[in-house]
Amino acid sequence: MRLLVVGKLNGQLSTAVKMAMSAGAKVSHVETIAACTHALRAGQGADLLLVDYDLDIAALIAANEAERIRVPVVACGVDADPKRAGDAIRAGAKEFIPLPPEAEMIAAVLAAVSDDNKPMVVRDAAMQAVISLADQVAGSEASILITGESGSGKEVIARYVHQKSRRASKPFISVNCAAIPENLLESELFGHEKGAFTGALARRIGKFEEANGGTLLLDEISEMDVRLQAKLLRAIQEREIDRVGGSKPVKVDIRILATSNRDLVQAVKDHTFREDLLYRLNVVNLRLPALRERPGDVVALAEFFVKKYAAANGVAERPLSGEAKRRLAGHRWPGNVRELENAMHRAVLLAIGPEIDEAAIRLPDGQPLAAPDPGSRTAYAAATAAESATRNFVGQTVATMEQQLIIDTLEHCLGNRTHAANILGISIRTLRNKLKEYSEAGVSVPAPQGMGAHAA
């Protein structure tokens, strides 16, 4: 996470900075709110601002908003004056950290406010197949299109790919194409020169330049206007961009990742998405299964979120009861991982007693999870089996795990190559090449069984 500290570095603030760095943050510093906005406008990216509450936080947020710069603010201050801390929160700060700081509080606030604290939590075979493919392509420079339902974790897998790439030490910049008005998105992506349009009071560096050397994620790219898609295609092809109002192109060195929860092939047919841009982005496709398609992940994710939000809220971590696990695994989770995360955050706050029981896990309308029907026993069994299987993976190589996953999936599909390839999220050609490699190495490969089971 990139942390920009705003204020004079006295002893206590310096201590907070050192703690943040120990927690993994990359820290930079300016003394004034004007210098902060200038740095952000000039392309110095930040995921979080740590601001001395002696400064005018409302003015800082307003100045950033005027430049369409939206970075969360955490206020801090010596002596923890309750009134001034309250004023900082009312001015727009997300949290307040009293100084002198505590290392655990610094770490918890950074984790709660930043987007970086989203590690991959994977137990289910369907998701392990996606991770295996991501590992294969992460080290390349290929553009990747990540598809899946809303809330399924597309940005998490994008960050995972970046962290596994040769660009991991460089910026990871995300742009939500659905959240930025159409008339502002071009400036957001490519930047603008002073005077390019009304309100352009200074040069603004866009996300392409901010990501230079690193990775640019175009989140929900299907929402981008088709006219801007042409400029995006040129930028990707030529690796250069034109600032709005600029007179000469600017070279950029970036890798492009994109996400979509819509069917882009259908969007091409509907003339709302350019076919040539789809081909340029979809060099590799990572399709994330919905949470209901990977039941083995549900309990593992729930336990991760319990730990995360217990720490963030300063409460004791409690285990999930057996019935709570059964109901979690049996629910369909239409909002996917995002819905599960919110439910577990509520459960951490509502639970009483030594365990988090089913009564504490509530849906957005306040209703508890329904008791699972008999069919959900399969989901719970899958979660339990996945947890057990994961323990057996420790000490094995990725290649061995991949082979075991492919063989197990093929056995599950009674040797049907097409069905196995669909479950694994790989092409039938890739699967056949893998099976040929295993056979030549003396590994027993399940033979096709029955009608319609495609042979290798």
Residue pair 144/236 in contact (Cβ under 8 Å)? The answer is no
Cβ-based burial of 196 (10 A; exposed 0-12, middle 13-18, buried ≥19): middle
293 has a pLDDT exceeding 50: yes
Query: What's the token pair of residue 292?
Result: 């209901």
What is the arithmetic mean of pLDDT over 242-257? 87
Helix (H) or strand (E) holding 447: none
What is the arithmetic mean of pLDDT over 182-206? 76
- Is the domain of 222 the same as that of 271? yes
- Is the domain of 94 the same as that of 152? no
- Is the domain of 394 the same as that of 363? no
Q: What is the pLDDT of residue 449?
A: 62
Non-local (6+) Cβ contacts of 414 within 8 A are: 446, 448, 449, 450, 453
What is the arithmetic mean of pLDDT over 435-441? 89
449 inside domain: no
Please give the residue range of the domain that contains residue 402: 376-440
106 inside domain: yes
Q: Would you place residue 87 in the very low, low, confident or very high pLDDT band (cuts 50, 70, 90)?
A: confident
Query: What's the token pair of residue 125?
Result: 């075979």
The model's pTM: 0.67
Query: Tell me, what DSSP letter sits at residue 140?
Result: S
What is the arithmetic mean of pLDDT over 136-148? 93
- Tens-digit pLDDT profile for residues 396-417: 666 777 888 888 788 767 788 8
CATH number reported for the structural domain that contains residue 11 in this entry: 3.40.50.2300
119 inside domain: no
Domain boundary among 373, 395, 421: 373
Domain boundary among 373, 390, 425: 373
| Length of the chain in terms of residues written | 456
- Is the domain of 321 the same as that of 223? no
Residue pair 292/152 in contact (Cβ under 8 Å)? The answer is no
Q: What is the pLDDT of residue 162?
A: 94
Q: What is the pLDDT of residue 65?
A: 82
Q: What is the pLDDT of residue 409?
A: 80
Q: Would you place residue 368 in the very low, low, confident or very high pLDDT band (cuts 50, 70, 90)?
A: confident
Domain count, the chain: 4
What is the arithmetic mean of pLDDT over 206-226? 92
